[in-house]
Amino acid sequence: MAYTTIDKPTDYFNTTLYVGNGSSKTITGIPFAPDFVWIKARSAAENHVIVDRVRGANNYLMPNTTATNDTNSEFLKSFTSDGYTLGLGDRVNKASTNLVSWNWRANGQGSSNTDGSINTTYTSANTTSGCSLITYTGTGSNATVGHGLGVVPKMIIVKRLNVTSSWRIYHSSLGNTKNIILNSTAAEATSSTMWNNTSPTSTTFSLGSYDEVNGSSAPHVAYCFADVKGFSKMGSYLGNGNADGTFVYTGFSPAFIMLKQSSASGRNWEIYDSKRIGYNVANYRLPPNTGGAEETNVNIDILSNGFKARSTDGDLNASGATYIFMAFAEAPFVSSTGIPTPAR
């Protein structure tokens, strides 16, 4: 039985919908002070924007591109205790445009972590929700980095900040010899220089000498996520090519799902959430590897204990294809006291 350790997932993850006004705008009502904010225009073609506390407000990255870390005081101007203040930048606040932000709670700006051979600049780790945000300076040779979670992270997203570079992802379902790229439709790839053929531990993750994850004297950011029973799940599934797709068990009703076919190239990443449409069948998807507007043509069921593809589209359900995913809860399937939660 999937008992949870977090009865109220909205204390650690939140989806917020808003309409841009092309001027200063304050987003309020998030049940926590967000530390990691991912924003995307829904009704317009604009790049995704990621802002976090370890790099600081005004610093932004665009996960659908290889662009460097940049600053813009008209994007996310400041974090607040229950949201953030936006400027007039079109990517985050375009007038009369529907936008979504996905928000995670870590541990503020954090502090240096010395568990690895690289001392991090900042490690902002939330051991309850399994979310850690890290900045570090690479060495160009095999190294380890402390993540502060106290458990093994199952998915790690790394970006070099000072040169154009791809977003490299470690996913436990692929193993320590493989990586996959967030800003691409490419399939998984094998490289011994990415993670040094070494799986993460409860204190550190490993880096090889590859310059996009461990460039000599170069700044990097890493986002680490661990499985937390009833709240977060990283895993994989096999597509069946049927409109009644494979059921994927998570142990909770998902609020957020990001997935990618890993076994073949040419397929987009996809993000679904429970809030943009608010009922089944959910068909509002945003590919994080493109800047396109929201699409509504591929269906997925968000269920009380997992999700199921309702489409034969190859982005989420090609026959025999392998898919990796990351999911966060709207509600646990069973509470910490063993009481089933209401069905979606």
What's the pLDDT at 192? 96
Name the burial class of residue 71, with classes exposed (0-12), middle (13-18) and buried (19+) by CB atoms within 10 angstroms of its CB. exposed
Across 153-176, average pLDDT? 98
Average of per-residue pLDDT across 129-139:
98
User: β-strands 155-160, 36-41: how paired?
Assistant: unpaired
Please give, one letter per residue, the 3-state secondary structure of the chain.
CCECCCCCHHHCEEEEEEECCCCCEEECCCCCCCCEEEEEECCCCCCCEEEECCCCCCEEECCCCCCCCEECCCCEEEEECCEEEECCCHHHHCCCCEEEEEEECCECECECCCCCCECCCEEEEECCCCEEEEEEECCCCCEEEECCCCCCCCEEEEEECCCCCCCEEEECCCCCCEEEECCCCCCCEECCCCCCCCCCCCCEEEECCCHHHHCCCCEEEEEEECCECCCEEEEEEECCCCCCCCEEECCEEEEEEEEEECCCCCCCEEEEECCCCCCCCECCEECCCCCCCCECCCCEEEECCEEEECCCCHHHHCCCCEEEEEEEEEEECECCCCCECCCC
Task: Compute the average pLDDT of residues 238-245.
Answer: 96
Does 308 have pLDDT greater than 60? yes
Over residues 279-295, mean pLDDT = 92
Mean pLDDT over 81-98 rounds to 97
Task: Answer whether residue 68 shows pLDDT above 80.
Answer: yes
% of the chain at pLDDT higher than 70: 95
**Is the pLDDT reported for residue 140 higher than 50?**
yes
Q: Tell me what the mean pLDDT of segment 178-197 comes to.
A: 98
At 109, the pLDDT band (50, 70, 90 cuts) reads very high
Residue 267 CA to residue 289 CA, distance in Å, equals 10
- Cβ-proximal residues to 42 (8 Å cutoff; 6+ apart), any chain: 97, 98, 99, 100, 276, 284, 286, 293, 294
pLDDT of residue 342: 53
Structure tokens at 247: 């059921």
**pLDDT for 343:** 47
The pLDDT confidence band at residue 336, using thresholds 50, 70 and 90, is low
Q: Place 264 in a pLDDT band, splitting at 50, 70 and 90.
A: very high
Q: Are 236 and 178 spatial neighbours (Cβ–Cβ below 8 Å)?
A: no
pLDDT for 4-49, tens place per residue? 679 899 999 999 999 999 999 999 999 999 999 999 999 999 999 9
- Provide the pLDDT for residue 1: 47
Q: How far apart are CA 55 and CA 77, in angstroms?
A: 13
Which residues on neighbouring strands pair with residue 264, listed in sequence order?
none
pLDDT (mean) for 260-287: 93
Give the model's pLDDT for residue 335: 60
Alpha-carbon distance 343 to 52, whole Å?
33
Question: For residue 268, what pLDDT is reported?
Answer: 97
User: Picking from 91-95, 130-134, 294-298, 334-338, which range would have the lowest pLDDT averaged per residue?
Assistant: 334-338
**All residues at 6 or more sequence positions from 109 whose CB lies less than 8 Å from its CB, including other chains:** 53, 54, 56, 122, 124
Q: What is the pLDDT of residues 145-162, one digit of tens each?
A: 999 999 999 999 999 999
Residues pairing with 272 in the sheet:
257
